[in-house]
Structure 1
C-alpha cells in the first residue's frame, strides 16, 4: 500500500472540507457543473465513476463468472439484507428517530417527507461505487459483478412496490430514464470498455501489459474518488451551511442503518462459512445506496425543495466517508472472520487462508 493510500481517510476529510467551502464561496460554478446532467444523472460525476471502476473491471475475467455459483451463500445473504431487511429497517429507524425522538427539532410539516426520503434511499441498492469498496477490501470481483447485476435486475421490479408499500402510496413514479441510464452508464458501458481493453492487452498471452496499465490507473482511480467527494459536497455546500442541524439529525438513522446492515451481512456470511473475499463486498453491497435513483425518485415524488429530497442528499453526502469506515472494519477484522469454524470448513477456501489458520 502506498503512502497516499495509507492516508486515504485524511485526504477524504480534506476533500469534504474543501468541497463544502468551495460550494459555499463559488456556488455559481458548482451550479453550472451540477446542471450538466441527463435524466438527473450528473455527467461529470459519471466520468469520475468510470475512472474509479474501469480499473477494477479490467481485473475481471468473464470466463470465470461461470464459477460464481459456488458463492451462493454470499449471494443469498446479500439479497436477504438488501431486499428483506434494509428498506424495512430504515422505515423503523426513520419513524423512531425522525418521527419521534427528533420531531421537536425538525420542521413539523416536513417530518413525513423526511421519512419518505430515507425509505426511498434504503430501497435502492448501490450500483457503481460497490466496485470501489470491493476493490479496497480485496473482494472477489466476479462475485461483486454478478451481485450488482442481480441487484439491478431485481430493482427494476421490486423498487416501486417496496417503496409503495412502506410509504402507503397506491402508485410510485419510478424515474425509469434515470434507472436505465444509470445502469447503462455505470455497468454496461464500463464493462464493455474494460473487456475490450483487457482482451487487447492480453492478446499476446502475457499479463505484463495489463499489469502495467493497472499500476498506472490505480492513482487515477483514487484521485477520481477524491474529486467525486469534492463535487458532491460542493453541490450541497450551501445547504450544509444553511441547515447543519437538520442534516446532522437526518444522518443519524442513515448511519445506524449502514452499520447495522453491513454488520448483519458480514456476520451472516461468517455463520454461513463464506470466504472473507466474498463477505467483504457482500457487507458493503448490503449497506450502500444507489443515490442517483434515490434522489431522482424523491424529487419526482415530492419536489426539489422537499424534505424527502434533502434526506436522500444527506445519504449522498455521508456515503463515501461512512463506507470507507466499513471498509476499514472489514479489513481489520479479517483474522477474526477467518477464525470462524464454518469459514474454516468451506471447501472453496483458498489454500493460503487455510494454511494461515
Structure 2
C-alpha cells in the first residue's frame, strides 16, 4: 500500500503524452492531413466526478507545459494547482513541440512536409482539441483559459462547443485578428522569405529570416515605455545599446528553439481568425458562448489593444472585463501574475 505522501507526489507530477489520430483529418480549407499527433501534458489528477479539469491553450510559440511559462498561475501553491486540479495543455497543430507540423513525416512522400504543409486555422486546432478531449473521456471542462493565439482558440472552441465549458478566462485576445496584427505577421513572413535558404527543403531553411522575424515581433509584444525602462541607454552613449543586444538575443533565442516553417504556419493561423466566419456578425457569434467568462486586457498592449477585450466582454453573455495596468504590453499576460490572480479570485467571488 503506497504511503499518502507518495500518492500525493504521483498525483501532482507533470506527465507527457502523445495522442495519435490515425484517420485522415479534414481541415477547414478542404485539405487533409493523413494523420495528426498532439503532444500534451497533464498536471494533477482527474477526480471521480471529473469536475476539476482546467484546459489551457498556449500562445504562438508556446509549448504544452503551462507550469513553465505561466508558473505564476499554474503549479503547486498557485491558483491552479495539481493538488486540486487536473490541468491539460496540448501543443497545437503546426507547432514545433511534438504535434504534427511542417517537419513531421509526410507518409505520401516519406520526407517532411516542409512547404507542402497545409494551411491551418484555429478551427482546425479546436477540432483536434475536441478529438483529444473525447479520447480522454472528458465530457465537461470546468475552466478553459488562454491568451493571445491560444485565447483565439479558446474563444472559437467555446462557440463551437458551448455546452462543454463551465467558465472561461481569456487574456489579451480578440474576436477577429486586426489588419494591424496581420501587418505585423506579414512583415515577419517577409523577413523569412528574404532568407535565401527559405526555398530549400531543409529543417533549417529560413532560420536567419526567423531571427529577424522575432525581432520584429518583439516590437509588438512590448512598447515604447517598456523599452525605455528595460533597455535604457547610458548617458553619453553613441553605440552598442542595450536595445541592440536585446533584439539580437531574442532573435538568436528563437532560432535555438523553433523552426521557420512552424512560425510561418502559425502566423497565418493568427491572420485567419474570425469567429463570425459563417455565423453572421461578430456579435451573433459571441452570443453563442454559454460559459461564465472573464476577459482580461493589459492597458499598454499595442498588439491586442484593450478595446478588443472590451468588445468581447460587451458581447459575450455573462462576461466581465478586467483591465490590468501594466507597462509590459502584450507580454503582460505572461508576466503580471499577481494582478491576474487577484482579478480571477475576485471574479469568482461574484
TM-score where L is the length of structure 2? 0.27
TM-score where L is the length of structure 1? 0.27
- Structure in which a larger fraction of residues adopt strand: 2
Q: Which has the higher contact order (CA 8 A, sep 6+)?
A: 1
